């Protein structure tokens, strides 16, 4: 059935469909609708949705619940994300699955609660010390908010990692038409669990560095030793010894190894095009219109909509960049936060940014950059 619905509502619905059973949140525009929807729906579906007194607590509650074995999620915007970032590092280091929906709004600081932006790409992707890159997905439509929330849970659970669903005010809170029947079903395999009984479990055991350690819940029969400090495979505090250094490499290796599978760019190719418009989120929508206009004027141009921002979707990009000489990257921030991050994957091609802060980038501005 066709419905008029927002991305935030579909994000909440997808969380439930993906098996989320714990949500903790602190209100912030434009993310609050996720919270409100889950407070209403989650208890009816066997879960808990609770308020926290701040965002530091919200994510800590989620990580706690996830350590107990419960798929968990929180939702916030830039200011709340800043408070959460210490614990995001914890989730990465302690290998705890957790999904964080970050609905961007205008910054810096309190900025504009009801104004859109794509200004938190750097804040989110570089939140964790040491250059670690956890998966960040970026929907550009309400329907994609659904799909990418499913993907976020799938990869958080599979990789034992924090995953961010990075949307923006326009994409998340504009109601648009979505056909229920067209929404995909992605069955999450859940975490790979330890089934070896009470003896012999090691919280961070792996053979190859890209392997994901088996999960056992705190409170189960196998003793868990979880930690956010540098540790060996047993979870005991250590630094500088070879095993610990291996764990430190493993934390990124397991994510990088999944890149070919979790990296996603939706391409709309045109035969013979040498220009590619590469965008994400709200700006991808204007890009679609700009590309259509350019084509109607006889220009050859391809479009790539990034559904994975990080780890850089190099496999998908590599395929999509064949024959491309010029890449136009529209995004609603100063200086091109993603443009600078993706540069290394674009080789020697000419790269042009289309940027604006505080208002939507219009299709005409992108068209100007295409032609």
Partner 1 sequence: MQSSEPAPAPFLADCALPYCKGCGHSLVVRSLADAMQQSGLAPEHLCIVSDIGCVGLIDRLFPTVHTVHTTHGRSTAFATGLAVADGALCGGRTRFVVVIGDGGSTIGLLHLVAAAQLNVDVTVVLHNNHVYGMTGGQASGMSPEDWNTVTTPDGNPLLPLDMMGILRAAGAGYLARELATSRSLTGRLVEAMAHPGFSLVEVIEVCTAFGTKLNRLTGPEVRALAERTGEPLGLREQRLGRRHYAEVARPPDEPTETGTRVQSRVVVASALKAPLRVVVAGTAGERVQSAAALCARLATAAGLYATQKNDNLVTQGTGYSLSEMILSPSPIHYTGIDAPDAILAVSADGWNTVRGLARTLAPGGVILVDDTIPGVPEGLPALVRLPLRREAGRDDAALAALAWLLARTGALPPQALADAAVATHGEKAAGAVRAIAWGAAEANRGGD
Q: Which residues bind partner 1 (CB under 8 A)?
A: 1-4, 21-22, 24, 29, 41-48, 50, 52-54, 56-57, 60-70, 72, 86-87, 90, 94, 113-114, 170, 173-177, 198, 217-221, 223-229, 235-237, 285-286, 288-289, 360, 362-363
95: region left, alpha or beta (phi > 0 left; psi from -120 to 50 alpha): left
Q: Which residues contact 200 (CB under 8 A, 6 or more apart)?
A: none
Residue placing its CB nearer to partner 1 in the complex, 140 or 161: 140
Is the CB of 25 or the CB of 263 nearer to partner 1? 25
Residue with smaller CB distance to partner 1, 47 or 311:
47
Q: Which is nearer to partner 1, 57 or 258 (CB)?
A: 57
Min CB(16)–partner 1 separation in Å: 8
Shortest separation between residue 294's beta carbon and partner 1, angstroms: 14
CB of 27 to partner 1, least distance (A): 12
Residue among 137, 42, 31 at smallest CA distance from 84? 31
CB of 164 to partner 1, least distance (A): 19
Residue closer to partner 1 (CB basis): 244 or 259: 244
Supply the minimum distance, in Å, between the C-beta of residue 314 and partner 1. 27
CB of 60 to partner 1, least distance (A): 3
Q: How far apart are CA 75 and CA 282, in angstroms?
A: 19
| Residues paired with residue 310 on neighbouring β-strands, in sequence order | 136
Instruction: Pick the closer one to partner 1 by CB: 62 or 312.
Output: 62
Q: In what order do the strands lie in the sheet with 308-310?
A: 48-51, 22-25, 72-76, 98-104, 162-168, 136-137, 308-310
Question: Nearest approach, Cβ of 105 to partner 1 (angstroms)?
Answer: 11
CB 148 within 8 A of CB 7: no
Least CB distance from residue 264 to partner 1, whole Å? 19
Spatial distance between the Cα atoms of 326 and 158, rounded to a whole number of angstroms: 36
Residue 182 in tokens? 């067209």
Tokens (6 digits) for 126: 């570089």
216, 267, 311 from 338: Cα distances, Å: 37, 18, 12
Taking CA atoms, 36 is separated from 13, 39, 42, 236, 307, in Å, by: 12, 5, 10, 39, 25
Closest CB to partner 1 among 122 and 217? 217
Q: Which is nearer to partner 1, 54 or 350 (CB)?
A: 54
Q: What is the DSSP string of 62-106?
A: HHHHHHTT--EEEEE-HHHHHHHHHHHHHHHHHT--EEEEEEE-B
Task: Say which residue the tokens 């989620």 belong to.
Answer: 62
């Amino acid at each position: 059935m066709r419905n008029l619905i927002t991305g935030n509502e579909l994000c909440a619905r997808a969380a439930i469909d993906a098996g989320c059973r714990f949500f903790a949140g602190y209100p912030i525009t434009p993310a609050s609708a996720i919270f409100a929807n889950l407070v209403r729906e989650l208890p009816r579906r066997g879960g808990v949705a609770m308020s926290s007194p701040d965002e530091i607590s919200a994510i800590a509650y989620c990580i706690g619940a996830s350590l107990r074995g419960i798929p968990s999620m929180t939702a916030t915007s830039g200011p709340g994300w800043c408070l959460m970032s210490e614990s995001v590092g914890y989730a990465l280091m302690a290998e705890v699955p957790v999904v964080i929906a970050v609905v961007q709004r205008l910054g810096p600081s309190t900025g504009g609660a009801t104004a859109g932006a794509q200004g938190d790409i750097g804040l989110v992707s570089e939140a964790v010390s040491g250059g670690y890159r956890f998966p960040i997905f970026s929907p550009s439509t309400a329907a994609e908010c659904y799909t990418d929330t499913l993907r976020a849970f799938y990869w958080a659970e599979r990789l034992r990692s924090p995953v961010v669903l990075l949307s923006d005010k326009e994409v998340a809170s504009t109601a648009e038409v979505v056909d229920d029947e067209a929404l995909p079903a992605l069955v999450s395999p859940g975490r790979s669990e330890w089934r070896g009984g009470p003896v012999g479990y090691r919280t961070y055991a792996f053979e190859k560095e890209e392997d994901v350690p088996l999960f056992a819940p705190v409170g189960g029969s196998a003793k868990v030793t979880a930690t956010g400090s540098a540790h060996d495979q047993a979870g005991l505090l250590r630094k500088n010894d070879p095993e610990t250094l291996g764990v430190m490499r493993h934390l990124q290796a397991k994510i990088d190894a999944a890149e070919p599978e979790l990296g996603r760019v939706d391409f709309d190719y045109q035969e013979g095009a040498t220009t590619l418009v590469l965008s994400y989120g709200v700006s991808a929508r204007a890009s679609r219109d700009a590309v259509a206009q350019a084509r109607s004027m006889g220009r050859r141009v391809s479009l790539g909509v990034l559904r994975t921002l990080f780890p850089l979707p190099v496999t998908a990009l590599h395929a999509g960049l064949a024959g491309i000489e010029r890449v136009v990257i529209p995004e609603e921030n100063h200086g091109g936060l993603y443009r600078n991050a993706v540069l290394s994957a674009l080789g020697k091609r000419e790269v042009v940014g289309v940027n604006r802060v505080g208002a939507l980038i219009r299709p005409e501005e992108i068209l100007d950059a295409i032609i």
